[in-house]
Structure 1
Amino acid sequence: MLLVLVTGMPVILLNMLLQSWVAVCCIRFYIKRFHHKEGVIAGALALFGIILIVLMGNLLQIMLWGILFLLLGEFSTLHEAVYHSGVNFATLGYGDIVMSAKWKLLGPLEAVNGALMIGLSGASMLAVLQHHIRKQVGEFK
């Protein structure tokens, strides 16, 4: 179990760093392009941009886990490793592909990582939506 933690923790830490960078990119994107703009179209475009940024960040994190699984020899193709990673990261848990007993605990570790990072992604999107709503409400006072 210690080997699994020592192997998985660097990927979790890298994903946390990546997600923090993505959150900062979302804030910078919004402030630079939409902070002072009003209206439905501006709000929709801002939210769309944020969704794209967090989606790319989450896909990159899934790819990092998939590469780890490939390097560990758990899968023969990157496609299969990334598929398994996506199932874990999104906490779907299909069970159609199972890792060896030695590395099986990486699955739940990635699922916890994914749940936290997807939650932070949702928080980034919600922050933009809330700011836009506050601007719209202020417009009608």
Structure 2
Amino acid sequence: MNWGKGIIMGMAIFMLFILSMCIYMFNVPVDDYDHQYYEKGMSFNKDHNREEQVIKDHAEPVITQQGDRLSIAFSMPATGRISFMRPSDKTQDKAFQFNNGAGKTASISLKDMAKGPWQLILEWESCHKAYLYHKEVFIK
């Protein structure tokens, strides 16, 4: 084999490599992004203030899982919303309203929830103050 054939073969292999990378890039799933990013950016300060309120008031809830129930103990009676966000599949996301009345514990059934990691977002109001708390939980 002479130099000319080697150069042509090298160029052909390189061109096939570039072509295969182009085909691969077109077949990769599209990056999913939040279409509401601007609106969420506008409310960032409000959310940050609610997260800071949890720290100021030492109001971090205690989350425990007992069998097929998730118990959330608050420092004071609370009313709000619990959101379960599934990192691997957003179609499994769920939200529940709660009002623990005079008690301090809210309980959620986990029977219909898939096992594995979940992002738990708690939004509640207690004593005329708004709170926001994020926690990663693993449902067994």
TM-score by length of 1: 0.24
Structure with the largest fraction of helix: 1
- Greater Rg by CA: 2
Relative to the length of structure 2, the TM-score reads 0.24
Tell which has more relative contact order, 1 or 2 (C-alpha 8 A, sep 6+). Answer: 1
